[in-house]
Chain A
Amino acid sequence: MPTDDIPQARDRVWAELMRAAQAGDRAAYDRLLREVTPMIRSLLRRHCSNPADIEEMVQDTLLTVHRIRHTYDPTRAFCPWLASIAWRRSIDALRRRMRVARLETSESVDYETFPDPAANSDMESVHSSEEVGELLRLLPPRQRQALEALKLRQMTLAEASAASGQSVTALKVNTHRALKALRALVAGRER
């Protein structure tokens, strides 16, 4: 990812802020993350046009910066380090999207109801929140945690990551696995 247009002076300031952040200076870190966010956003815009997706990738990049901040070498330029994290996160996001698009199909019949209640019975195999809770308890803890945070409490990935301690990638994988396991459990009940 080209970073030639980033002035060297600004890079030196950011490198200095990152050095302070590695030493534990919260104010420097807060300032650094706020200053680099527009640059991350503009880098990601080259790969994606959907504002919501871009914002998710920006947050994913910031979380990654936080997790691997010890890998920044204070004697080197800051922008290539940051740009390569943003670049990698955007590739991961695009791959995830392609994987999901390959696996998912929309089924319009799911949203239809019919005058005869019996005709809707195949959509009603799970009747109450108690039953949902019962099914959720059968899931492994990390899958249940991911599903509850993202689907039931409607948290964003960043919120769920901060609350659960799981990375964004782990949350996505665990939610996918949880939904798959739930589908299998519901199918088992129907049989």
Chain B
Amino acid sequence: MQTDKLIESLAQQLTPVRPLRAPLLRALLWLGVVAAVGAALIAYRTGLHILLPRIAQPRVAVQCAATALTAITAIVAAFELSVPGRDARWAWAPVPPFLVWLAASGLGCLQNGLSLHQPGGMAGESPGCFGFITAVSVPLALGLFWMLRRARPIAPLPVATLGTLGVAATAAFVLEFFHPFDVTVIDLAFHMAAVALVVIIGISIRRVLLAVD
């Protein structure tokens, strides 16, 4: 087909469309809904009595803030990069908070003398953290990708990577409210393995998640 004929045919098929809202607004909408549901869940199941005594330590406070920031920046970046013409540097936005999250958690392991289990923690709890992060990530990812696929991203890889990193970091942040003891080496390994697993699965099935042809 000649390009002229294609243009003619596309113009004939044209139907009105409603432009997508700005990516930042859509990201804030998703984060707002998740924050509201998460707050209700925490209030109903545990309250703040688990987190508050731990967060009094500056290192734990930094760790929690960095986890939340990783989630927020990754989600905003995924929405930004789901539409064409946005600054590709958005892909790097979650890197600094993620490194701070790793560093603060790693420092905690060092302070705890690299012991495998905290005095307050029971043996065998780390797999539970792994299960929590992966299980909570699933509904979060379904909601997120339902919104992201509306943009029909032309570059699905960065969108899927950032989106899944965002949901896994959100799940890890929620976990802090249910985590009665400080992070240990084995705990940190399980947390990061869960985040990596969620991201790898998301990347593997990105075409399905984002409805790419």
Residues of A participating in the B interface, judged by any CB pair closer than 8 Å: 21-27, 29-30, 33-34, 37, 55, 58-59, 62-64, 66-74, 76-77, 80-85, 88-89, 155-156, 158-159, 162, 166-167, 169-170
A34 vs B14: C-alpha distance when bound (angstroms): 15
Contact A22 B17 (CB under 8 A): yes
Q: Of B4, B6, B84, which contacts A68 at CB under 8 A? A: B84
- A73 with B6, Cβ < 8 A, contacts A68-B84, A81-B84, A83-B85 known: no
- A58 with B213, Cβ < 8 A, contacts A29-B10, A64-B154, A74-B19 known: no
Least Cβ distance of A36 to chain B in Å?
Answer: 10
Enumerate chain A residues within 8 angstroms of B9, measured Cβ to Cβ: 162
Enumerate chain B residues within 8 angstroms of A55, measured Cβ to Cβ: 3
Contact A33 B154 (CB under 8 A): no
Other A-B pairs, 5, CB within 8 Å; known A62-B6, A84-B154: A59-B3, A71-B84, A71-B151, A88-B84, A158-B3
1/0 per position for B145-162, CB-CB distance to A under 8 A?
000000110110000000
3 interchain residue pairs of minimum CB distance:
A24-B16, A81-B85, A30-B11
What are 7 A-B pairs with beta-carbon distances under 8 A?
A: A24-B15, A33-B11, A68-B152, A70-B17, A70-B18, A76-B85, A84-B84
Contact A166 B213 (CB under 8 A): yes
The count of chain B contact residues (Cβ–Cβ below 8 Å) is 29
Least Cβ distance of B89 to chain A in Å?
Answer: 14
Nearest CB in chain A to that of B150: its residue: A70
A18 vs B18: C-alpha distance when bound (angstroms): 12
Residues of B participating in the A interface, judged by any CB pair closer than 8 Å: 1, 3-4, 6-20, 22, 82-86, 151-152, 154-155, 213
A166 vs B85: C-alpha distance when bound (angstroms): 25
Least Cβ distance of A37 to chain B in Å?
Answer: 6
Contact A67 B152 (CB under 8 A): yes
Contact B10 A33 (CB under 8 A): yes
- A162 with B16, Cβ < 8 A, contacts A71-B151, A170-B213 known: no
A81 vs B7: C-alpha distance when bound (angstroms): 19
Contact B85 A70 (CB under 8 A): no
A27 vs B8: C-alpha distance when bound (angstroms): 10
Enumerate chain B residues within 8 angstroms of A162, measured Cβ to Cβ: 1, 6, 9
- A85 with B154, Cβ < 8 A, contacts A30-B11, A59-B3, A62-B6 known: yes
Contact A80 B3 (CB under 8 A): no
A37, A80, A158 — which one has the most chain B CB atoms within 10 A of its CB?
A: A158
Enumerate chain A residues within 8 angstroms of B213, measured Cβ to Cβ: 166-167, 169-170
Least Cβ distance of A15 to chain B in Å?
Answer: 12
Enumerate chain A residues within 8 angstroms of B84, measured Cβ to Cβ: 68, 71, 81-82, 84-85, 88
Q: Of A66, A77, A166, which contacts B10 at CB under 8 A? A: A66
Least Cβ distance of B22 to chain A in Å?
Answer: 6
A82 vs B154: C-alpha distance when bound (angstroms): 12
B9, B86, B154 — which one has the most chain A CB atoms within 10 A of its CB?
A: B154
Contact B19 A30 (CB under 8 A): no
Contact B11 A26 (CB under 8 A): yes
A55 vs B1: C-alpha distance when bound (angstroms): 10
Least Cβ distance of B90 to chain A in Å?
Answer: 13
Q: Of A27, A37, A66, A88, which contacts B154 at CB under 8 A? A: A88
B4, B11, B13 — which one has the most chain A CB atoms within 10 A of its CB?
A: B11
Contact B10 A73 (CB under 8 A): no
